[in-house]
Amino acid sequence: MRHDSNKIFDADNQSKKIKVLESDLKDQPKQEEPEFVHRDGGWGWLVVLCTGYCFGILIGMCNNYALIYVELERVYIGTDNHVTYAGWIGSMSVGIQYIFCVFGSILIDLFTPLKIGLLGGIISTLSLFSCAFVEKLTVYFFTYGLLFGIGQSFLLASTLSILPHYFDKRLSLANGIMNLIGSIIIVILPIFTSIIINAYGLKTTFFFLTALNAVPIFLVMSFKSRLPKPKDLTLKKELKNSLGIDVLRKKMFVAWCFITFIGKFGYFIPILNIDHYAKLTFPDKPPVIVNVVFSTFAGIAGIAFGKLGDYTIKYFNHVHYHTFVYIAYGIVQIFIPFATDYTSFMIQIVILGIIDGILLAFIVPISVDLVGSSKLGNQAIGYYHISMSATSIAGPAVAGKIYEIYKSYDIAFYIGGITSLFAGLIMVILYLIIDHYENKKLKVNEQVKLNQINKIVGF
């Protein structure tokens, strides 16, 4: 009898659900969505080649600034605060790039990757061209720090958003090829930059970099949008969708952004200031070797660990890779001043390069994992970059100021390493607390539902 009553109860519930769904469907406006099928090839392979170059230039210019930093320090040695300003200009460019990345994502949703990428390429090219005619160090804050950072942010947002228009099943392969091409450019770029700086000086170097950054203006012409856009959306609704405020309701994601804010203070000190440190500590060794070694191992690690992440996701969350990154990066950075011979120093650079490659490889997967939706992944990446922008600007600038006061980077490396190490340890604690809270909440909800069912069926 009880069995029959349960069947009646379930059937009644099912009929109610069907009626609710039918009423919801009636209320919705009827519209035919265009059928979209990913080609997973064809024109998309040309797009992959173009994004590979753009990606290589974007990341390569960040790493490449360490060489420009050394030259700015030499040229403007008689200027007050020249070391601080030189570090600040590079970190400002990186920070602005991260701040405006989210605005670039919004503009791409409103317009297209082609238009925003084209705008970014033009701004980047004009800013570098204007840098060739700068005479006062402080003017670089506007031409390189602000304008170049904005241009790069738009080009970055465009480059990262276009491949899903062409690939679905082969998206991992397409991303892998893009990273491979980018890694080659990242390794080669500092070699040519170093040769030109040493032979012709800063002005000719900026002309050279202008030419390289002008190429994406033509390459983004291949970024033809293919994903269908929802119809009958007002500008207000489009803006709301593009902002993706829902990601800020995810506790794990917010915790990740908070940890990134702390950890990135020291993270860019080795990347932007390390060439100047190497020149002072090992004057008989060219600083470009540091760039090439760092970029090479970052590229290899990015590809290798990106593939490894596909297998390990079954066993633990991708975010734990970033936990390892901050702890390991902090420990290595603290011990940089203790490397008194060149071999030990280069081993540290190899390790830092590998760690950097791991961090870059998991930004996108972690963003999607923590917000629980690939549709919000683009916005999540934008908020992630905003969270790291302020401390990314501050870290290298503080390191430059410390050097001017103490004529040494040792304290800067200690502070930077401690902040990275602290960020990693806090990440472990926060995720244990949040995970415990979420599990406890889930058990309570399950118990409440079970009690309600028991009351209804008469247990």
What would the pLDDT profile of 175-217 be if each residue is shown by its tens digit? 778 877 888 898 899 899 999 999 999 999 999 999 999 999 9
Q: Would 443 be classed as within a structural domain? A: yes
- 337: its two tokens: 């001043």
Global confidence as pTM: 0.75
CA 409 to chain CA centroid, nearest Å? 27
pLDDT in tens, 304-352: 877 777 677 777 777 888 888 999 999 999 999 999 899 999 999 999 9
**Integer angstrom CA distances of residue 373 from 142, 270, 368, 381:** 37, 34, 6, 12
- 17 inside domain: no
Query: Residue 251 carries which side chain, given as an amino acid letter?
Result: K
Residue 264: which domain range? 43-226+234-450
pLDDT at site 7: 45
Question: Taking the C-alpha atoms of 379, 383, 385 and 387 in order, what is their torsion angle to the nearest 10 degrees?
Answer: -170
| Start-to-end Cα distance in the chain | 14
The alpha carbon of 205 is separated from its chain's Cα centroid by a whole number of angstroms, namely 27
Q: Is position 259 within any domain?
A: yes
Give how many domains the chain has, as a whole number: 1
Within a domain: 272: yes
Tell the burial category of 348 from Cβ atoms under 10 Å away from its Cβ (0-12, 13-18, 19+). middle
Assess if residue 118 is contained within a domain. yes
Q: How far apart are CA 293 and CA 194, in angstroms?
A: 14
Output the domain CATH number for residue 341.
1.20.1250.20
What is the Rg, in whole angstroms, of the alpha carbon atoms belonging to the chain?
25
Query: What residue type is assigned to position 10 of the chain?
Result: D
Residue 216 within a domain: yes
What confidence tier does 448 reach under pLDDT thresholds 50, 70, 90?
low
Supply the pLDDT for residue 21.
Answer: 45
Q: CA-to-CA distance for 412 and 437, rounded, in angstroms?
A: 37
- Does some domain include residue 9? no
Distance CA 273, CA 262 (A): 19
Q: Is residue 159 domain-resident?
A: yes
**DSSP 8-class letter at 76:** T
